Amino acid sequence: MAKAKILRTDAELRIVEGYMADLEKVAHVVTAERDDADTLCALARDADLILTCYAEIPAPVIEAAAKLKGIVKYGVGTDGIDVDCATRRGVMVVNCPDYGSDTVADHAFALLMALARKITVLDRVMRDGAWVWPAPERLGVDIAGKTIGIIGMGRIGRAMARRAAGFAMEIISHSPYQKECPVPAEFVSLDELLGRSDFVSIHATLTPETRGLLGAAELKAMKPSAYLINVSRGAIVDEDALCAALDEGWIAGAGLDVFHDEPLAPGYPLLGLDNVILTPHLAWYTREAFARVEQDTMDGIMAVLEGRRPEHLKNGEVLGQ
């Protein structure tokens, strides 16, 4: 019996490399050297499964893959996969939603704390001059007693709320589809959240509703002393408006792990700003979370190949569920 073919994208990530010996016992793994649609269409024609992380899997790629049984996402968000097309074709879409909720929330709260206390600026100035004396531009702010506005109260949003509660913050949230929180929280409109919050932390998924959710008007509605944290998806924030907000002082600063276009190009306008902390979409990247996502991804792959229902199937309709 011929082995199944798995098309693996994102060559630079070497997805599930630690499990490759086991995987190659049951499948032939082909890694795409480029992730453009034409390349993926050509390689997907005889693929049984597509294993992906950041690469876009649009309808033409799915339509080109006549034998395709499943698309497994190495991570949480499936906004880069045409799930509607996959569902029409009877292709299972599987993700890994549980591996890093606390991990990503840790990173988001670390950004919040570093912004509040100007940690990255103090570190840089210390390295340049060996000491920093008190000065108005180095003055931080307390976290206790401040209001955090959490946009999206899903797994990561709830984990962020727990951390905020531990630091005696007041928690408000705008979350149209999730109204439960493990700690006391007030659910409010987006406008109210933006106007009241000292820190706004984005934990929503990217959907047509949330794309561009925060534009110029929304950023201007925030306090000039407020900070924005985004570890979700870059496209939720209008990046041109955010650049203007930071340059013109509409808000005090931002901590960003996600961007419209990744990786960033040299000359990216926020690279030189002291009131911005940038990390390279690695909020999820700890030793423990890495081990969990590798195992969860492998479990999803094997379920598809063996004809079982994957634990984290996004489109249960394909199985009549």
Active site residues: 233, 262, 281
DSSP state of 235: G
Exposure letters 203-213 (e unless 16+ CB within 10 A, then b): bbbbeeebeeb
State the Cα–Cα distance between residues 92 and 65, nearest whole angstrom: 13
For residues 171, 175, 177, 183, the Cα torsion angle rounded to the nearest 10 degrees is: -10
Q: Which tokens go with 52? A: 């992906």
Closest to 57 (Cα-Cα) out of 74, 154, 294 = 74
CA distances from 164 to 106, 118, 158 (A): 11, 18, 10
What are the strands of the beta sheet with 147-151, ordered from one edge?
186-187, 170-174, 147-151, 199-202, 227-230, 253-256, 276-278
Per-residue 3-state assignment (H helix, E strand, C coil) for 140-165: CCCCCCCEEEEECCCHHHHHHHHHHH
State the Cα–Cα distance between residues 159 and 182, nearest whole angstrom: 8
DSSP state of 258: -
Q: Which tokens go with 295? A: 């195992």
Closest to 79 (Cα-Cα) out of 51, 48, 107, 55 = 55
